[in-house]
Amino acid sequence: MTDPISDMLIRIKNAQAVKKETVAVPYSKMKQELARVLKESGFIFDFEKKGRSIANKKLELKLKYRDSFPAIANTKRISKPGQRIYLKYSEIFPKESGFLRIISTSKGLMSDGQARRQKLGGEVLCEIS
């Protein structure tokens, strides 16, 4: 698999399309941090790491719905393995409400609003609405 973050986003989107309560994705620290940002922003209820061995580690996400509609309507991978997209903190402008850009900064993954408040730029991983 060349892009595990994109795989995680598509798994979440597909699970919500068929109204699943949870979705399991292969575990990595990056995916765990991505799930943390999604939880803090209100797009998922919770997440939990399961399994002990490296081959069996999974990250289980509890999905969120609003009035029987998925909380995550659309996902878009911005920075891809073939083309990385970086923004300075002064270039991070607020989007409409309901949109979230996840940025990889020197202090870890955070939402675009947090990065702007802390005056940090970085790689724009994805956009979620």
Give the model's pLDDT for residue 126.
95
The answer to whether the beta carbons of residues 124 and 96 sit under 8 Å apart is no
Give the model's pLDDT for residue 76.
93
Same domain for 60 and 33, yes or no, is: yes
Same domain for 105 and 58, yes or no, is: no
Q: Which of 31, 54, 70 is the last residue of a domain?
A: 70
Whether the pLDDT of residue 98 is over 80: the answer is no
Same domain for 112 and 54, yes or no, is: no
Same domain for 59 and 14, yes or no, is: yes
Domain that holds residue 9: 4-70
Model pTM score: 0.92
Whether the pLDDT of residue 27 is over 90: the answer is yes
Q: What is the spatial distance between Cα 71 and Cα 13, in angstroms, rounded to a whole number?
A: 10
User: Chain-centre distance of CA 84, in angstroms?
Assistant: 17
Q: What is the spatial distance between Cα 15 and Cα 21, in angstroms, rounded to a whole number?
A: 8
